[in-house]
Amino acid sequence: MIGKIKMNQPPKMIIVIACALAVVAATRAEKIGPWDMDALNRVPKAEWGATSNGVQQVYFEGEPLSGRTTRVFAYFGKPMNDAVKFPAVLLVHGGGGKAFPDWVRHWTARGYAAIAMDTAGHGPAGRLPDGGPDQNDNIKFRDFTGDDARNMWTYHAVADVLLAHALIASRPDIDAERIAETGISWGGYLSCIIAGLDHRLKASVPVYGCGFLDENSYWLPQQFKPMTPERRARWVENFDPSRYVGRANCPMLFLDGTCDFAYPMDSLQKTYNIVTNAPVALSVEINRKHGHIWNFPEVDAFIDSFVRDGKPLANVGPLKISDGIASCSFSSPVKIAKAELNFTTDTGTWQKRKWNSAPAEIADNSARIKIPEGRPMVCYLRLIDERGCAVTTPHVELP
């Protein structure tokens, strides 16, 4: 404990002690939601296991669950070249998923170290006796109060990723200043929260996942509507990404589909609109398939551009509507091969709307098209470069 400053001390001594107090305060990470970032920045105890086809098993110490210790299982891999420090990526699986060794290999083949941790208390052969909470919806959305928030699945899943970050950042073969994250579906949901908590990250890519689950998502009718207002508010305040993602200070890329069954476009847009302290890119595809898919070229290119000096995705301005013309400006180090307007005149449930596409003209670093007939309409412009990487404007709703 730091003692009180005596008033008869020389002014220089007061300044020195004041500076010391400021340094101590600065090194104490803040508590955000139920997460104690000071504790979760620690390097966890780990047991490194067998290696198969370039991927190594590792178990590391997780957060306590109802008073007992837990372990987290993960796969870790790195390129064979030991002469350099590698950039790294954290891989966060979705619902029904697990730690995928092939996902790790995807990144090691690209020159990265990677760690894919299991966020549902499982190991390579099934449930761990000392694993964290499982991931079914009844567990994720159960009621809780007070300190019981630290027994919830979201709390443990986020903590697993933060601890995995600390673990690999401590390795001598990893460049701790070049670590990014990407998550798929529920992993995308987690990535949104983590981007707001973990300011060590250099980039974040939520695939499908977003916030505002209580306003519109797959879980609105089954989970949120039956809740009491107090219980619903408690879950949202602690575990909805909308409470955290606005704190993100690393560049973010949001990938989604127009008719994604779980994370609809209105909730997605509300989510990326509150990220105001960092660059945000967007890639929305008509009827994008939902699954544990990790070969989207946009994800690779986006992370490369912030941790390996790769060529970035196109920087696209907002969609402008004037005199029946939709347009956007852009800049891109890679030639834009084509542009298109994606649009729907359907209303109602986002997941059931039928979308159409029409080619747009490209000239002088802008794309433009006459808007088709039919109102109301939701539309956005999509630009695809010669690598096959697509970026989009935010969607606009025309009355």
Residue in this structure with the two tokens 């013309």, named with its chain if needed: 325
Question: With 0-12 CB in 10 A as exposed, 13-18 as middle and 19+ as buried, what is 364?
Answer: exposed
Inter-residue contact 300 to 91 (CB < 8 Å): no
Residues in Cβ contact with 224 at an 8 Å cutoff, skipping those fewer than 6 apart: 141, 213, 214, 232
Which numeric CATH code is attached to 35-313? 3.40.50.1820
* Residue 30 confidence (pLDDT): 67
* Residue 82 confidence (pLDDT): 77
Say if 35-313 and 316-398 have the same CATH topology: no
Query: From residue 349, how far is each of 174, 265, 278, 294, 346 by CA, in Å?
Result: 45, 10, 31, 28, 9
* Residue 16 confidence (pLDDT): 37
* Residue 144 confidence (pLDDT): 98
* Residue 11 confidence (pLDDT): 41
Question: With 0-12 CB in 10 A as exposed, 13-18 as middle and 19+ as buried, what is 378?
Answer: buried
Delimit the domains of the chain by residue range.
35-313, 316-398
Q: pLDDT tens, position by position, for the chain (399 residues)?
A: 333 223 333 444 333 334 443 433 333 446 899 999 999 999 999 999 999 999 999 999 999 999 999 999 999 999 998 778 999 999 999 999 999 999 999 999 999 999 999 999 999 999 999 999 999 999 999 999 999 999 999 999 999 999 999 999 999 999 999 999 999 999 999 999 999 999 999 999 999 999 999 999 999 999 999 999 999 999 999 999 999 999 999 999 999 999 999 999 999 999 999 999 999 999 999 999 999 999 999 999 999 999 999 999 999 999 999 999 999 999 999 999 999 999 999 999 999 999 999 999 999 999 999 999 999 999 999 999 999 999 999 999 999
Q: How many CB atoms within 10 Å of residue 382?
A: 23
**Superfamily the domain 316-398 falls into:** Immunoglobulins (2.60.40.10)
* Residue 28 confidence (pLDDT): 41
Inter-residue contact 120 to 146 (CB < 8 Å): no
